[in-house]
Homo-oligomer: A and B are copies of this chain.
Amino acid sequence: MGEQRIGFLGPKGTFTKMAVDALFDGGTFVSYESIPACLDAVENGDVQTGVVPLENAIEGSVHLTIDYLVHQVDQSIIAELTVPIKQHLLVHPNQKNQPIERIYSHSHAIAQCHQYLHKHYPEAEIEYTASTGRAAEIVAEQGPGIAAIGNHLAAEENGLTIIDTNIHDYDNNHTRFAVVQKQPETLKVKDHPVSTQKTTVMVTLPKDYVGALHQVLAAFAWRKMNLSKIESRPMKTGLGNYFFLIDVDQPYDQVLFPGVQAELSALGCELKVLGTYPSYQIDVPTPVEKA
């Protein structure tokens, strides 16, 4: 095995990059500008491993990741990372006591700090940018009198000063990332606690009939298999056709899962395993404010 090449949804200073830096122990990191571009790179072999947002992400469309994994590529989820979302207020290092006239960030980050902005900067103009990383770049280029909302990596990479930390309105916001590979290989990761082993399956129903999902879940329930997430998603074949994404809180095994599969198959459903993997919880320390 040569050096690991890891693709991620960029650019620099994103939450995805923060997760990648925290997880992997060495390797070459390659930034991609969109989720499909990153997953295509895994598919083509340009990188062995890809990291894309799976849930609640600032930068990426989560549904896009799921739909692309299900419809476009043949890859497995081999790990997941959860990273707390901590937003900070970033200014130019030359900022003194000038009023902050404009605040830049991605629309999702602005929305996450809605109450903070309303309370502390009601007069500031809000400018929307394509990413939190881009907002930080703008502040670095334009100088004092403006601010960006972003994470501590965006501050570091652009030489900005953090004047207020954890300005997001709610705690307990996490972004969840999927680590995917075409041919599952061992990852070289830093020493992180694994919170749980999970298996993600996709279940498709033959057609939309009353109580179908209830029957599907029964196959898991009587085996005492705990489900930590369930979501229905429309198939691309038309309205009214759904598939279900289900996270089971245990690793794939040769007894329970084949049993579920046989039972669902008898109901006319199809079960596909999208991955069985460790879940890493990455902590992000709150940086020190420079008031």
- Chain B residues within an 8 Å CB radius of A36: 111, 114-115
Chain B residue at minimal CB-CB distance from A63: B56
Copies in the complex: 2
Interface segment, one of A122-130, A144-152, A257-265: A122-130
Are A174 and B224 within 8 A (Cβ)? no
Q: Are A34 and B114 in contact (CB under 8 A)?
A: yes
Q: Which of A157-165, A210-218, A283-291 lies at the interface with chain B? A: A210-218
A186 at the binding interface (Cβ < 8 Å): no
- Interface size in chain A (residues, C-beta < 8 A): 62
Once the chains are docked, how many angstroms separate the CA of A107 from the CA of B16? Answer: 15
| Chain B residues whose C-beta falls within 8 Å of the C-beta of A234 in the assembled complex | 172, 174
Q: Using Cβ atoms and an 8 Å threshold, which residues of chain B touch A40?
A: 114
Say yes or no: A239 contacts B172, CB within 8 Å: yes
**A44 CB to nearest chain B CB (Å):** 12
A115: chain B residues at CB < 8 Å are 36
Given A33-B126, A36-B114, A238-B172, verify A213-B224 contact (CB < 8 Å): no
Tell me which of A90-98, A225-233, A270-278 binds B.
A225-233
B230 and A220 within 8 A (CB): no
Instruction: Output the least CB separation between A162 and chain B (Å).
Output: 23
- CB <8 Å contact, B37 and A114: yes
Specify which chain B residues have a CB less than 8 angstroms from the CB of A126 in the assembled complex: 33
Contacting residues, chain B, for A222 (C-beta < 8 A)? 211
**Chain B: minimal CB distance from A90 (Å):** 18
Contact between chains at A107 and B59 (CB < 8 Å) = yes
Known: A34-B110, A35-B111, A221-B211. A131 touches B134 (CB 8 A): no
Contact A236 B114 (CB under 8 A): no
Cα(A221)–Cα(B228), bound, Å? 21
Could you tell me the distance between the alpha carbons of A95 and B237 in the complex, rounded to whole angstroms?
36
In A51-79, which residues have CB < 8 Å from any B CB?
A: 56, 59-64, 67, 71
Tell me the complex Cα distance, A240–B211, Å: 26
For window 110-145 of A, CB contacts with B under 8 Å fall at 110-112, 114-115, 126, 128-131, 134
The 5 closest A-B pairs by CB, nearest first: A128-B130, A214-B221, A211-B221, A36-B114, A214-B217
